[in-house]
Amino acid sequence: MKRMLKVNPSDAVPIWKQIEEGVRRLVASGALIRGAPVPSVRTLAKYLRVNPATVAKAYQRLAGAGILKVKRGEGTFVEDEPPTLGSEERSNILRNGATRYASLSITMGVDRKEALEVFNSSWRKLSGKGEKAPRCFMRVN
């Protein structure tokens, strides 16, 4: 399972967004324990070889979304309580993602069975199912 946060500067999606989503995923998957500290902006920036302002932007958005909590003078932490998302919005986003993948598959002439298999395989890789990995903080080096 990928616990390490990675970033691709050549990707179409902005680096700050990659970081934001990466952290979201780490939190959602339980890799980041609630209440525990995340690396400082500078530390993570150095590790990712990225501009600190970029990390800061991601952290600010995550804080705004209620995923992270900034304690001045202490550092940044994972929020204790998971934020909630409007259920309509949630299912819209999910549905869009599903439609995009389904559309791609159909366009490529893939049948549903194969599409599902590939999806399951991807899911396993991401969530590290069956792995007994200890819960951990975000590692930066």
Partner DNA sequence: GTGGTCTAGACCACG
Partner DNA sequence: GTGGTCTAGACCACA
Quickly tell me which residue has 């990466």 as its tokens: 22
Any contact of residue 131 with a second copy (CB under 8 A)? no
CB 119 within 8 A of CB 106: no
Helices 15-28 + 52-64 axis angle, to 10: 50
CB 77 within 8 A of CB 38: yes
- Among positions 32-71, residues that touch DNA (CB under 7 A) are 40-43, 49-54, 56-57, 59-60, 63, 70-71
**From CA 6, how far away is CA 36, in angstroms rounded?**
20
CB 59 within 8 A of CB 41: yes
Stretch that binds a second copy, among 37-45, 116-124, 131-139 (CB under 8 A): 116-124
Any contact of residue 74 with DNA (CB under 7 A)? yes
Q: Which does 135 bind (CB under 5 to 8 A by kind): a second copy, DNA, none?
A: none
Among residues 17 and 25, whose Cβ is nearest to DNA? 17
Tally of CB atoms within 10 A around 77: 18
- The residues pairing with 76 across neighbouring beta strands, listed in sequence order, are 70
Residues that bind a second copy (CB under 8 A): 9-10, 14-15, 21, 24-25, 27-29, 63, 67, 69-72, 74, 82-83, 85-91, 93-95, 97-110, 112, 114-116, 118-123, 125-127
In the complex, which residues of this chain contact DNA (CB under 7 A)?
Answer: 9, 14-17, 40-43, 49-54, 56-57, 59-60, 63, 70-76
